[in-house]
Amino acid sequence: MVAPVTTSAGGGAAKAAAPGRGPARGNVLAWLVVVPFLAYVGVFLVYPTVLVLAGAFQDSNGAFTLSNLTDLMKGVYLQAFWRSIELSAITALLGAIFGALLSWAVASGRPEGLLRRVVVAAAGVLAQFGGVPLAFAFLATVGFQGFVTKFLQDSLGVNLFSGSAWIFELPGLTLVYTFFQIPLMVIVFLPALDGLRPQWREATESLGGGTWTYWRHVGGPILFSPFLGALLLLFANAFSAYATAAALVSQGSPIVPLQIRGFLTGEVLLGQENLGKALGLGMVVVVGIAMGLYALIQRRVSKWQ
Amino acid sequence: MGYLELKGLRKSFGGAPALDGLDLDLTEGELVSLLGPSGCGKTTALRIVAGFETADTGHVVVAGKDITSVPANRRDMGMVFQAYSLFPNMTAAQNIEFGLRLRKASGSERGKRVDELLELVGLGEFGGRFPHQMSGGQQQRVALARALAIQPRVLLLDEPLSALDAKVRVNLRDEIRRIQTELGMTTLFVTHDQEEALAVSDRVGVMSQGKLEQLDTPAVVYREPASAFVAQFVGVTNAVLGKAESGAVRLGTFTLPTDAAADLADGSDVKLIVRPEDIGIVEHKGESNGSLLGSVLTQSFLGPVTRLVIRLDGDEQTIRVDQPSNIAAAYPPGTAVALDFAASRFMVVQA
Amino acid sequence: MAVTAKPPRKVAGTVLRVVVLVVLGFYFILPLVAMGEFSTRGINNTRSLDSWTGIFEDPDLVDSIVTSVELAVLSSVLMLVLLVPTMAWIRLRLPRMRRVVEFLCLLPLTIPAIVLVVGMAPLYAWVNYFLGDSPLTLTFVYAVLVLPFAYRAIDAGLAAIDLKTLAEAARSLGASWGTVLWRIVVPNIRTALIGASLLSVALVLGEFTIASLLNFETLQVQVNLIGKRNAGLSIAVSLACLVFAFVLLFLLSYVGQRRRVTVVED
């Protein structure tokens, strides 16, 4: 899962040398304190990551090869990448638009009010901890025995699945993904809306402008960058998502994360394991680009605060 | 009939009333300050005039026209907020010309006016800067220029200097006064800083708990406060505790000959309110002459004036007395002194 | 007496706001209602709480709940032990490391869990070799996963206190660094620590990707398995998880109250 990143402005200022000691000795001892943390992160985060990224370039004997990467560019794998990108882009857009609307509706209310607390807490749950339960919620609603399915069948005689089992394919994934994309948008975008100072609205009015003027000249331009950044974040989030899709789709691997699942659960030809790592590398590249752009936009935004 | 009239404004938020019947008339071209502690209703009054709040009852009239129900964006008033009001996505010049753009002024008209205003507020070279590239004082100047650009009928200032450094505040308030006088702009200025209000205003309205306590020129408000609240809020005062005694006031063993306490019950606790500069002081060499006696505790050199803190004999109370510094040198700490109060320059109220 | 009418823009804005809230509210509440309905279905169109009581009767499920709770607690503790001294120290003595530590803490956001787990498998072979194959060994990787959330919460807490001044004051009075950390820093960032812990707990309870692909039986893994054989039970548990996480986060919103700075008039 992906969560908002805020880049802090400016690192440290003065070097704090221990009083009474030479700077060199003080610093060496000071560094010892952070070694445990660095070592831990090195072992449990950096090392596995490097294994994957390096493994993408190795064949089953450990020798350097680009064949994994070239295999990625064809057939099933390339299709999976396109579908992942399509899914992520569409749900990012849907999430961004409806999430922005919902954020606005919430931001207009009282900051300590109940509505806001409930929406923010609910958004947190769905956006970051929904995973498997979300898949089951989806099934309970529009699954074969779902509440809405039965309602439509019994009351309106409409069969939700007259065509296909779409809920287990891209359309279904798109629908269920909105259930964590819209909430994530609320979490990411609400601070941006809070940053719109009431004085700007009032100043616009005192100068003779109305609602449209305000949004066109002040609110819109100011929110543009945060909106774009949020869109990128949502894209990265959908692209990396696994749990919901895994719980929903037990057969077939329409998107990249599920493809990787296939490799880990042994559904793959011998000698092809590193192809899974290549898929991982591909994912890291796509998500990395999206997050990199997001960080750049964040830096620009913070200049105005 | 004034240019800007506030008639009987009342406003409550939930429980206690923020404004409890405010009546105010500004003549054209005058600067009136609304002065008071936070919660006194001054900002509420200003926002009602601007149109950002609606009064529960009462009217706002400008140049004879009742604008009480006119929406904020059609009131033709310039407003300067306390902070954060410049549009961060626009340069200073773009901020200033914003109102003109809405009024469909042509590009060249706008450019000319922007240059004029930047000169007026002393920021000629700053047109291309963004708010985050300017200091607080500079931002407020631009905010002022922006409000003036549309040539409003009334200028509203909501504590424009409160968020600034002390030195910047003093400079900028003089600037604001200069510009206001030059343009003949009718101005309503809200502040909690009494020095500021006294320094720039034609008239000062001291407010407390939603009501006007006094509305007068700065000199009158200072020298002839209408109530104990005004006396204590404006300028420095002493509040000495004593007891009423047949209309006179007893402080310890000394009885002040006055009938200022005539309306107060005998024996009740009273406060004597007097300014440090209205107390006379002589060295007391032991003769008993029926004055209020005390001894000097500390001296604070304030430049032209020195403030002496004097502990009253037979009492724990201290009183502050201001004297020109060259005279105050004769009363170092420890000196026994006798004090006398100029007649009618003090006030007695219930404690 | 002039009573002014509400300006039209306010009315239009309010209407739009209500419409948005109602429509999206419906969109999101519908699945919850559906889950409630589904999980209380009995035989022949009756209502029954069998799926709910079944939660306590399924030993595997109960075990997995216990496991997940233990994991949540352990991971939170490990995270706090790792992060708090490090972050405080960085701020006080090694400001240049700030960027590095920040980057490392936010790195998990750029590495999808599904990719991380691929590299985890060989690593965990070693971990399980030394420490046995209890699911509690997931603590190590979970502490890493929660880093981004915990980092931001603790960073905000440290930023809100004047750490340098407090530490210098304590040191000038003779305190050791350990005392400074335990008696000065920790008590003053309590709300941030609680926030970070609550977020960690919620994250661990909801984690599925790594646990399932490393074949450990945590709560979410178990729920997924149950889904294949007992739909009602799995939906009941899912609803319970969502509600529980909601309560946790709802309470979190009260924990982070900014302290009112009361200025007492002299």
Q: Strand, coil or helix: what is A146? A: coil
The predicted pLDDT at position B179 comes to 94
Residue A14 has pLDDT above 50, yes or no: no
Mean pLDDT check: name the lowest of A1-5, A176-180, C156-160. A1-5
The predicted pLDDT at position A268 comes to 63
**A177 in Cβ contact with A130 (< 8 Å):** no
Residue C65 CA to residue C205 CA, distance in Å, equals 9
In this prediction the ipTM stands at: 0.85
Q: Judge: A206–B72 Cβ closer than 8 Å, yes or no.
A: yes
The predicted pLDDT at position C239 comes to 92
The predicted pLDDT at position A7 comes to 39
**Partners of residue B102 in chain A, C-beta under 8 Å:** 207-209, 213
Q: Judge: C2–B69 Cβ closer than 8 Å, yes or no.
A: yes
Residue in chain B lying closest to A213 (CA):
B102
Region B87-102 average pLDDT: 92
| C-alpha distance from residue C165 to each of A12, A176, B350, C95 (Å) | 15, 50, 46, 15
Give the DSSP letter of residue C189.
T
Region B305-313 average pLDDT: 92
The predicted pLDDT at position C1 comes to 36
* The CATH number of the domain covering residues in A68-304: 1.10.3720.10
One-letter identity of residue C90: I
The predicted pLDDT at position B311 comes to 92
Region C159-169 average pLDDT: 85
Residue A31 has pLDDT above 90, yes or no: no
Domain spans in chain A, listed from the N-terminal domain onward:
20-55, 68-304
What are the pLDDT digits (tens) for B133-165?
A: 999 999 999 999 999 999 999 999 999 999 999
C residues 1-60 closer than 8 Å to B (CB): 1-5, 7, 9
What are the pLDDT digits (tens) for C214-244?
A: 889 999 999 999 988 888 888 999 999 899 8
Residue C122 CA to residue C129 CA, distance in Å, equals 11
**B281 in Cβ contact with B307 (< 8 Å):** no
Q: CB distance from B246 to chain C under 8 Å? A: no
Q: CB distance from B259 to chain C under 8 Å? A: no
Say which residues have a Cβ less than 8 Å from residue C96's Cβ, sequence separation at least 6: A11, A12, A15
Region A271-289 average pLDDT: 87
**Partners of residue B72 in chain C, C-beta under 8 Å:** 7
Q: CB distance from B89 to chain A under 8 Å? A: yes
Quickly tell me which residue has 């904020």 as its tokens.
B72
Q: Strand, coil or helix: what is A168? A: helix
**Partners of residue C7 in chain B, C-beta under 8 Å:** 71-72
What are the pLDDT digits (tens) for B99-144?
A: 998 888 888 999 999 999 999 999 999 999 999 999 999 999 999 9
The predicted pLDDT at position A8 comes to 39
Say which residues have a Cβ less than 8 Å from residue C161's Cβ, sequence separation at least 6: C188, C189
Mean pLDDT value across chain B? 90
Residue A11 or residue C253, greater confidence = C253
What is the least distance, in Å, from the CA of A60 to any CA of chain C? 15
Confidence grade of residue A250 (pLDDT, cut at 50, 70, 90): confident
Residue A61 has pLDDT above 80, yes or no: no
What is the least distance, in Å, from the CA of C153 to any CA of chain B? 27
Region C247-257 average pLDDT: 80
Residue A210 has pLDDT above 80, yes or no: yes
The predicted pLDDT at position A270 comes to 62
Confidence grade of residue A56 (pLDDT, cut at 50, 70, 90): confident
Residue A18 has pLDDT above 70, yes or no: no
Residue in chain C lying closest to B74 (CA):
C7
The predicted pLDDT at position C263 comes to 56
Residue C177 has pLDDT above 90, yes or no: no
Region C72-87 average pLDDT: 93
The predicted pLDDT at position A3 comes to 47
Region B269-285 average pLDDT: 89
One-letter identity of residue C60: D
Q: In this structure, which long-range contacts are made by residues B320-327, counting pairs with CB atoms below 8 Å and at least 24 apart in sequence?
A: B320/B236, B320/B238, B320/B276, B321/B276, B321/B279, B321/B281, B322/B276, B322/B277, B322/B279, B323/B281, B325/B301
Residue A305 has pLDDT above 60, yes or no: no
Residue C212 has pLDDT above 50, yes or no: yes
Candidates C14, C91, C109, C151: best to mutate against A (most CBs of A within 10 A) is: C109
Counting beta carbons within 10 angstroms of the beta carbon of residue B8, is it exposed (0 to 12), middle (13 to 18) or buried (19 or more)?
A: middle
Residue in chain C lying closest to B56 (CA):
C3
Say which residues have a Cβ less than 8 Å from residue A38's Cβ, sequence separation at least 6: C104
Residue A16 has pLDDT above 60, yes or no: no
Residue C266 has pLDDT above 70, yes or no: no
Confidence grade of residue A27 (pLDDT, cut at 50, 70, 90): low
Counting beta carbons within 10 angstroms of the beta carbon of residue A297, is it exposed (0 to 12), middle (13 to 18) or buried (19 or more)?
A: buried
The predicted pLDDT at position B1 comes to 53
**B145 in Cβ contact with B153 (< 8 Å):** no
Mean pLDDT value across chain A? 83
Residue B244 has pLDDT above 70, yes or no: yes
Q: Judge: C35–A137 Cβ closer than 8 Å, yes or no.
A: yes
What are the pLDDT digits (tens) for A107-144?
A: 988 888 899 999 999 998 998 888 899 999 998 898 88
